[in-house]
């Protein structure tokens, strides 16, 4: 069995670790964490670290680059970083600041063919496209605007353009701890069997992660369940050992 990837999330606003409820900035919860201790814990079980610059996503350009550099200095784990990356310069800045791959979303949904240009400049392993879904529509601009694409239309298009790695977030579930939408990922895996897919949104227990593994996708992004101790380090270590 392939190793199932575990990507704990570090969502940032003003350099602080937070979580939103269904992407709503008015429903923000901050977590007082010691960054060095947190990253040391991640080192025991994580495949990599998923960083989201929430301010960047809202404002259109990365705002937490210094935090990215700080995290990079404290861990040897791979880092994927997203939030407001909407041009080549931002991609270069994020990669040169310590990220191993960038997460693109809004710009790709609004101008998909830009991927052709980016894939001439950057290796495809450095680019992940985040597909953020609410009520079957792909959302953009920090989850505040609906695009013209359905999920399957968008996945077909980016795959044709050469993208091999995606993160699919079910916005309706994100930050709720209410459980993952298994049917969504089962359908996508069946239609796009070769696509690398990380699932995000709704993870509330280790059982949710186990169910996602059974579907056969690449891995999972999770945050709130870990910060609120719904999922423990011990569970994640055991999970990784049997993956």
Spatial CA neighbour of 122 closest among 160, 96, 140? 96
Q: How far is CA 30 from CA 13, 19, 66, 70, 231, in A?
A: 9, 7, 19, 19, 18
Going by C-alpha positions, the residue among 144, 195, 148, 139 that lies closest to residue 169 is 139
The pLDDT value given to residue 128: 98
Which residues are known catalytic residues? 11, 132
Predicted confidence band at 24 (pLDDT cuts at 50, 70, 90)? low
Domains belonging to the chain, first-starting first, are: 5-241 (3.20.20.70)
Give the alpha-carbon dihedral of 25, 27, 31, 35, to 10 degrees.
Answer: -20
**CA neighbours closer than 13 Å in the CB half-sphere of residue 8:** 25
Taking only the tens place, the pLDDT of each residue in 188-239 is 999 999 999 999 999 999 999 999 999 999 999 999 999 999 999 999 998 7
Least confident interval from 66-80, 134-148, 161-175: 134-148
Per residue in 113-130, pLDDT (tens digit) is 999 999 999 999 999 999
- Position 243 scores a pLDDT of 43
pTM (two decimals) = 0.92
């Amino acid at each position: 069995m392939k190793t199932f990837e575990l990507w704990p999330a570090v969502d940032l606003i003003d350099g602080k670790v937070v979580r939103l409820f269904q992407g709503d900035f008015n429903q923000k919860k901050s977590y007082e964490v010691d960054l060095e201790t947190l990253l040391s814990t991640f080192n025991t079980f994580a495949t990599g670290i998923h960083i989201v610059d929430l301010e960047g996503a809202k404002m259109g350009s990365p705002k937490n680059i210094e935090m990215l550099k700080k995290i990079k200095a404290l861990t040897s784990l791979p880092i994927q970083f997203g939030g407001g990356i909407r041009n080549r310069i931002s991609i270069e800045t994020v990669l040169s600041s310590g990220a191993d791959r960038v997460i693109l979303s809004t710009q790709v949904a609004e101008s998909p063919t830009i991927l052709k240009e980016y894939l001439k400049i950057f290796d495809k392993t450095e680019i992940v496209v985040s597909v953020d879904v609410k009520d079957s529509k792909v959302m953009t601009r920090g989850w505040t605007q609906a695009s013209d694409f359905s999920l399957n239309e968008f996945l077909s298009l980016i795959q044709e353009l050469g993208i091999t790695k995606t993160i699919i977030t079910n916005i309706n579930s994100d930050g709720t701890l209410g459980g993952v939408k298994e049917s969504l990922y089962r359908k996508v895996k069946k239609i796009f069997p070769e696509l690398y897919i990380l699932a995000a949104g709704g993870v509330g227990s280790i059982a949710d992660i186990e169910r996602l593994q059974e579907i056969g996708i690449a891995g999972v992004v999770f945050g709130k369940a870990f910060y609120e101790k719904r999922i423990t380090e011990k569970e994640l270590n055991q999970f990784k050992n049997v993956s």
